């Protein structure tokens, strides 16, 4: 199933956020925003949100992605997960903005923020639908969130149709953007009751479990997604990756630190083994 099946473009065409992520749904409960303080070195903070409440796959994917990212990026107690369901609203504009502001209170300049959004999408952005509220999150809205988070180094991952629009707007040397589709293509797998979308399964559930580098995991995931789409007769969604050279370098240095410390501790044998 693609986002086209829901007539999404027509649904959210009139639902823009005129002044960014406002508190229009302020009565809705927010996810827990308690985050561990930053420590010396590079810490990773994760914000993961399932935006489309009527289908459970987006709740499942937001939860699953956060778990895999925590393991792959070796971070703990620095994650906020929120999601909308048919009955509850934990990923409202207010909740998402509050989460970004919570990060700003603890993050250091050397740290990395990972923001993951999963939903249906259009060429304007990603849909946000609760049981009594509907809007969209645009690339400009995400840019505002990143600024409010205080993060200098950012990773934005969007699993939605046409999500390549986020790469066009947000990618730069300090912002790595990974999307499930190009700006002109739908993505697949948004079936109610599913655990993952096609991209989520390929990137988080398969590639990232065995490969710690985000860019390498993405290349593996794109191959998996393309092969699956070909088998099932779909036009390629064409997942995208853009920007992030400084982010990848920082994460790479962070991953190499334990090995470097072990080499220093080994004394005379350092030259031959490290």
The total of structural domains in the chain comes to 1
Distance CA 136, CA 62 (A): 17
Instruction: Determine the pLDDT at residue 34.
Output: 75
Instruction: Determine the pLDDT at residue 40.
Output: 83
Instruction: Determine the pLDDT at residue 3.
Output: 57
Task: Indicate which CATH number applies to the domain containing 190.
Answer: 3.40.50.1460
Instruction: Determine the pLDDT at residue 254.
Output: 77
List the domain range (segments joined by +) for residue 177. Answer: 3-273
CA end-to-end span of the chain: 49
Instruction: Determine the pLDDT at residue 255.
Output: 62
Instruction: Determine the pLDDT at residue 2.
Output: 61
Cα→Cα distances 32→29, 47, 94, Å: 9, 11, 13
Instruction: Determine the pLDDT at residue 39.
Output: 81
Q: What are the phi and psi torsion angles at 74 (to 5°)?
A: 55, 55
Residues facing 179 on adjacent strands = 158, 240
- Reference 77, options 66, 87, 88, 85; nearest CA is 66
Helix, strand or coil for residue 127? strand
pLDDT tens-digit series, residues 128-145: 999 889 999 999 999 999
Q: Which residues of the chain have pLDDT under 50?
A: 4-7, 9-30, 257-274
């Amino acid at each position: 199933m693609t986002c086209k099946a829901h007539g999404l473009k027509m649904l959210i065409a009139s639902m823009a956020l005129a002044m960014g992520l406002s508190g229009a749904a302020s009565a809705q409960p927010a996810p827990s925003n308690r985050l561990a303080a930053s420590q010396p070195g590079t810490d990773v903070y994760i914000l993961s949100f399932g935006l489309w409440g009527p289908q459970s796959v987006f709740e499942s994917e937001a939860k699953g992605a956060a778990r895999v990212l925590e393991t792959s990026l070796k971070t703990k107690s620095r994650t906020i997960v929120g999601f909308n369901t048919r009955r509850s609203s934990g990923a409202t504009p207010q909740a998402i903005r509050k989460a970004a502001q919570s990060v700003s209170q603890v993050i250091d300049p050397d740290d990395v923020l990972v923001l993951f959004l999963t939903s249906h999408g259009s060429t304007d952005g990603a849909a946000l639908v609760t049981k009594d509220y509907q809007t969209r999150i645009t690339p400009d809205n995400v840019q505002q969130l990143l600024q409010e988070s205080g993060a200098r180094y950012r990773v934005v991952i969007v699993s939605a149709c046409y999500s390549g629009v986020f790469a066009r707007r947000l990618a730069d040397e300090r912002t790595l953007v990974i999307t499930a589709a190009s700006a002109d293509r739908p993505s697949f797998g948004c079936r109610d009751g599913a655990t993952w979308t096609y991209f989520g399964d390929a990137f988080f559930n398969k590639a990232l479990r065995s490969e710690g580098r985000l860019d390498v995991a993405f290349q593996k995931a794109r191959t998996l997604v393309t092969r699956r789409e070909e088998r099932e007769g779909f036009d390629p969604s064409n997942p995208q990756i853009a920007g992030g050279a400084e982010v990848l370098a920082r994460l790479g240095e962070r991953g190499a630190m334990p090995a470097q410390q072990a080499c220093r501790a080994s004394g005379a044998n350092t030259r031959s083994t490290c």
